[in-house]
Amino acid sequence: GLQVGLVGAETFFADNSTDLSAKADAVLDSIGDVLITVDNQVSVEGHADHRQSADPFPTNWELSGGRATKVARFLVEHEGVGGPRVKATAFSDTRPIVKGDSPQALASNRRVDIVVESTEEEQVRALIPALAAAAKD
């Protein structure tokens, strides 16, 4: 499938929060406009950095799952992406994309990925220009 990453938690969520920022709302609004044009399954995958979670989240599983759920709900409730097509998954800190403790590594691993699932390579590839344009807005 095609993966769109909301990387850098501070841009999309406050620290240790699942609440979407105004920037996240705007980006998701643009992405939603593209997602409603296809019938593919959409997997929203929450990730966290490896640092210990803080209250009110007992673990990074709850934090990453809460963020994935907020994004999934936004796509369904505000953008009209069909609910049966959307799922939210939490990966905690099990799938880092950058190793280490640098600020860049920590920010890169605090992310939500939106995956448009497909076995049809050309169908998903056709979405790339629209999603790239949406991400720039």
Domain residue extents for the chain: 2-136
Cα 96 from Cα 98, distance rounded (Å): 6
Q: 118 and 14 in contact (C-beta within 8 Å)?
A: no
Give the pLDDT confidence of 74-120 residue by residue, as tens digits: 999 999 999 899 999 999 999 999 999 998 888 888 889 999 887 76
Q: Residue 63 in 3-state DSSP?
A: helix
Instruction: Please compute the mean of the pLDDT values over residues 61-86 and round it to a whole number.
Output: 95
Task: Pick the closest to residue 1 from 43, 30, 47 (CA basis).
Answer: 43
Cα 91 from Cα 86, distance rounded (Å): 16
- Which pLDDT score is estimated for 122? 66
Instruction: Identify the CATH homologous superfamily for domain 2-136.
Output: OmpA-like domain (3.30.1330.60)
Q: Model's pTM, two decimal places?
A: 0.82
Instruction: Please compute the mean of the pLDDT values over residues 118-136 and round it to a whole number.
Output: 66
Q: 50 and 93 in contact (C-beta within 8 Å)?
A: yes
